[in-house]
Chain A
Amino acid sequence: MSRIRPYGDATDDGKVQLSFTLPVEWSEAADEAARQLVGKMGFTDVQVVEGRRIAKDFSFFVVYASTAQSIDFATIKAPSAKEHAMSMDEVDAYVQESLGRKIRIAGACIGTDAHTVGIDAILNMKGYKGDYGLERYHSFETFNLGSQIAVEDFVKFAKEHEVDALLASQVVTQKGSDVKNFTALAELLEAEGLRDRVVLICGGPRVTNLMASELGYDAGFGRGTLPSEVAAFVAVTLANRRVATH
C-alpha cells in the first residue's frame, strides 16, 4: 500500500488535529467561523472541540477534521545523510584506515545567532544523548568557534587552519535569517575557491538534508542528530572524495 492518509483510529479515516487563534472576541459565531475556516482549508467532518476567549479580541480553538488528500509514499524522495551509521570507535578506525590522519573540523553559529545548543551537542566532548561529541574522537581535531561568528570570519578561519569540514549552525529562523546566512557562507566559500576543498554541513532544528542540498551543502542535519551521525558522514564523504581523486 503506497498511497497513505492520516490514521486516527481506522485506516484511511484521514483524521487530523489543528489548533489556532483567531483575532476575534469569542462567541458562538467565532466557533462557527473556525469551523468554516477549516472547511475552506479542504477538510471535512470538521469538529470544533474547544473554542474560548483567551484575551480581549482573541479566541483559541482546537479542531478535529478529516482530509480526503493522500500521498503516494513511493514517490517521496528525502535522502538522509545519516545512512553511514558507525560508532565512535568505528569512525576512528575507519578514518585511520582510509585517511591516515585526523580530520580537521570547525563549527560555529553563524551570523548573529547566539544559540550554541546544537553546535555544542555535536562538538563538545560530552555530546548528546550519551553519544560522545567530536572533541572526544581520536580521528577529529575540533574547533568550536561558538556563537555569533561572522561568515567572513568563519571562512577566514577555515582557510588559515586548513579545515576539512565546516559545520554551520542556525537556530533562529525568524524572517529567513537562517537561509540567508547559510547561503552567504556557501557563496563566500565558492568565491574564495574553497567550496570543493571542504565538506560543508549545516545544522539546526529546522534544517533538513533536502533543504541543505538545495542550498549547495553536502549535508544538513536536523533535530535529534547524534554526533556520531555527523562524524560518520564527514569521514565517509572525505574518504570517497579521496578515492575519486586518486
Chain B
Amino acid sequence: MELRIDPSTVDRCRALARAIVSPVSDFIAAHSTVAVERSVLRLLGVDGVGADEIPVPNLILDGLSAQDRSRGVAVAFGRGLAETGLAPAALGAAIAAGTVRLADFADVPEAAARGVLAPFVAASLARIRERRAEREERLERLPQLPPPLLYVIVASGNIYEDRTAAVAAAEAGAQIIAVIRSTGQSLLDFVPFGPTTEGFGGTYATQENFRIMREALDEAGEREGRYIMLTNYASGLCMPEIATMAAIERLDMLLNDSMYGILFRDINMKRTFVDQHFSRMLNAYSGIIINTGEDNYLTTADAVEQAPAVLASQFINEAFAHRAGMPDRQIGLGDAYEISPDLEDGFLYQVAQAQLTRQIFPNAPLKYMPPTKHMTGDIFKGHLIDAMFNLTSVMTKQTIHLCGMLTEAIHTPFLGDRVLAIENAQYVMNTARHFGDEIQIKPDGIIERRAQGVLTGCDALLERVAEIGLMSAIEAALFADVKRPPDGGRGFDGVFERAPEYWNPFEDALQGATV
C-alpha cells in the first residue's frame, strides 16, 4: 500500500520546518530557565524536600541572586562544593536546612568550582549510560512483540493501584504502560516528592513513583518474556526535570512536544522552547523515545480541517528534535483517529492521514492515538470505533498504538476495560496483520487525493509560519486557532537571559555526544 505523493513537496516542508526552527534555536541558545537549572542540580544528585515540602532544587534556585542565576546554577553550586567539601546531595540538604548559603562562596575561583564538578558530571552521565545499556540488554533478552506496540494507560491516582493495573495489563498483552499524571501537574513549577496515593484523573509523576512502576514492570517483563516499556510526561513547567528523573529511573518513553504546552496549557512559549530543547538533549542521550502531542489539534478542533496543522506540527517537532540531537528512531510523532464517525468515508480520511504520516516519516516510531472526542457513554459503539482505529493502525504500520477504551469519556479505565481494549486490538491486528501489504491504493482515488490535499495544505501553512516566524505565528493563532503572546502565559518569570559566562556542564557534555 503506497500513496503517490510529491517528494519535492515533502522536501520543501522539511526545509521550511528547519528554517522555522532555526531562529527559535538562536533564542534558546541565549536563554535558560529555572527548570533547566533545577535539572542540572538533579543530575548532580540533589533531591529531597525541605520546609513545606518544597523540593531542594527549587529551594536552591529560589535562593540564587539574578546575577548568579544568569551564569547557571552550576558555578554557584560548584563553589559551594569546593568550599564545603560536601557531596552534592549533602550540600543540597545543608542549603535546604539553612545551614549553608551559596551566596557566602562568591570568592571561590570559578576554576575550582568547575574542577570539583567534573567528576560528578561524569558520574551522572555514566549512570544514565548504564540505564540505557540496561534497557538495551533487556530488549535483546526479552524481545517485544512486533509493532503496533500496544500501549495502555493507568490513572488511578494511587501508584500502588496503578502497579496492580499495569501488571495485569502487561499480562494481557500490553507492551507499554503510561502512568497518566494528575490533572494540573503540568502547571506545577516543581516536581512532587516520594510515593503518592492521591491524584485527580491520574497519578503524580515523582521519581519514587517512577521507581516503583519500573520495578514492577521489570518483574512482569521477566515473567512474560517481553520487555515492558514505561512512559510518563515530560511536559508542562518541569519538562527537563521529568526528563532527568526518567533517564535515571529508566523510563522508555516520554510525552514531549515542542508546542503542546504553549497552545493547550497556556505555558509561556519562550519557557517551553528552552525547556523542550534541554529535555530532548537528555532524552536523546538516555535513549528515551519521545511522543509528540499532535492528537490535541484534533480533539480541540475539527479533525478534517486540522489535518494540515497536524502534519505541519510533526515537521516542526521533527526539526526541533533533530536540533536537540535526537535520531529519527526516538522521535515518536503523534497522530490520532478523531474524525467524526458520522462523516461518510471518514475511515478513508483516517487511512489517508495515517499512511501519509508513515510515508513521510519512515523511520519514526509513530504514535497513534485512539478516538476520544466522539466517544460517548455508548460503550458498544465505542468498542466498534476502536476496532476501526485498530484496523487503520495495523494497515498503515503505526509503531506505538495507544489502545482505545470502550469506556473513554466515562471513567479512567477499569482493569477489565483495559483487557477488553487489548483483546480488541489483538484480534483486529492479528486477523488483518498483512492487509496493508496486500492492497493497493486506487490512484487518484479518495484516499490519495485526500493525502495530497493535506500535504499541500501543510506546505502552505509552513510557508506562512516561516514568513512571519514561529513565535508570531503562534501569536496570530495559526496553530489550533489558539492565540498566545510571546511574553504571556505561565512560567515566563522563570525564563532568563544567559550571562556571557553562563555554564551548564551537562549541556556542554551532551552537545555532540553520540551514544
Contact = CB atoms under 8 A, between A and B. Distances in A.
Interface of A: 19-21, 54-56, 58, 60, 111-114, 116-117, 120, 124, 126, 129, 146-148, 171-175, 177, 205, 223-224
A55 B165 CA distance: 10
B297 to A, nearest CB: 12
Contact of B157 (A19, A21, A60, A175): A175
Nearest to A57: B168
B415 interface: yes
A223 B373 CA distance: 12
Contacts of B200: 112, 172, 174-175, 177
A148 B187 contact: yes
Contacts of B265: 114, 147-148
Given A56-B168, A117-B373, A205-B377, A174 B415 contact: no
A114 B183 contact: yes
Contacts, number: 79
Given A55-B419, A117-B299, A112 B183 contact: yes
Interface range for B: 35 or more
Contact of A224 (B157, B201, B376): B376
Nearest to A180: B200
A55 B168 contact: yes
B187 A58 contact: no
B428 to A, nearest CB: 18
A58 B415 CA distance: 9
A21 B300 contact: no
B168 A112 contact: no
Nearest to A55: B168
Nearest to A206: B410
A223 B377 contact: yes
Nearest to B171: A55
15 contacts: A19-B416, A21-B415, A55-B415, A58-B416, A60-B419, A60-B420, A112-B184, A113-B201, A114-B184, A116-B300, A126-B301, A147-B264, A148-B266, A172-B183, A174-B412
A19 B420 CA distance: 11
B184 A55 contact: no
Contacts of B493: none
A184 to B, nearest CB: 14
Contacts of A223: 376-377, 409
A197 to B, nearest CB: 28
A30 to B, nearest CB: 14
Contacts of B171: 55-56
A129 to B, nearest CB: 8
B427 interface: no
**Most interface-central of A112, A116, A126, A146 (chain B CB within 10 A):** A112
Given A54-B168, A175-B157, A148 B300 contact: no
B416 A54 contact: yes
A185 B184 CA distance: 18
Interface of B: 157, 167-169, 171-172, 182-184, 186-187, 200-201, 264-266, 299-302, 342, 372-373, 376-377, 409-412, 414-416, 419-420, 481
Closest 9 CB pairs of A and B: A112-B184, A55-B168, A21-B416, A172-B201, A54-B419, A55-B171, A112-B183, A60-B416, A177-B200
**Most interface-central of A19, A58, A177 (chain B CB within 10 A):** A58
B414 A21 contact: yes
A1 B415 CA distance: 40
Given A56-B168, A129-B342, 18 more contacts: A21-B415, A54-B172, A54-B419, A55-B168, A58-B416, A60-B420, A112-B187, A113-B183, A114-B184, A116-B300, A124-B301, A147-B264, A147-B265, A148-B187, A148-B266, A172-B201, A174-B200, A174-B201
A126 B157 contact: no
Nearest to B187: A148
A21 B169 CA distance: 13
Nearest to B340: A129
Nearest to A116: B300
A112 B157 CA distance: 14
B415 to A, nearest CB: 5
Contact of B302 (A54, A56, A126, A174): A126
A151 B206 CA distance: 27
A120 B300 contact: yes
Contacts of B410: 205
Given A21-B416, A56-B168, A120-B300, A146 B266 contact: yes
Contacts of A55: 167-169, 171-172, 415, 419
Contacts of A111: 184
Contacts of B182: 112
Contacts of B184: 111-112, 114, 148
B480 to A, nearest CB: 11
A179 B51 CA distance: 32
A34 to B, nearest CB: 12
A56 B157 CA distance: 22
A20 B342 CA distance: 30
Nearest to B416: A21
Contacts of A148: 184, 187, 265-266
A19 B419 CA distance: 13
A20 B377 CA distance: 17
A21 B377 CA distance: 19
A55 B422 CA distance: 12
Contacts of B167: 55-56
B121 to A, nearest CB: 36
**Most interface-central of B302, B372, B409 (chain A CB within 10 A):** B409
A128 B36 CA distance: 41
A25 to B, nearest CB: 12
A224 B375 CA distance: 11
Nearest to A113: B183
Contacts of A205: 377, 409-410
A15 B414 CA distance: 24
Contacts of B342: 129
A129 B377 CA distance: 16
A40 to B, nearest CB: 20
Nearest to B482: A146
B270 to A, nearest CB: 20
A223 B301 CA distance: 18
A147 B169 CA distance: 31
Contacts of B157: 174-175
A120 B481 CA distance: 12
Contacts of A54: 168, 172, 415-416, 419
Nearest to A175: B200
Nearest to B184: A112
Nearest to A176: B200
Nearest to A172: B201
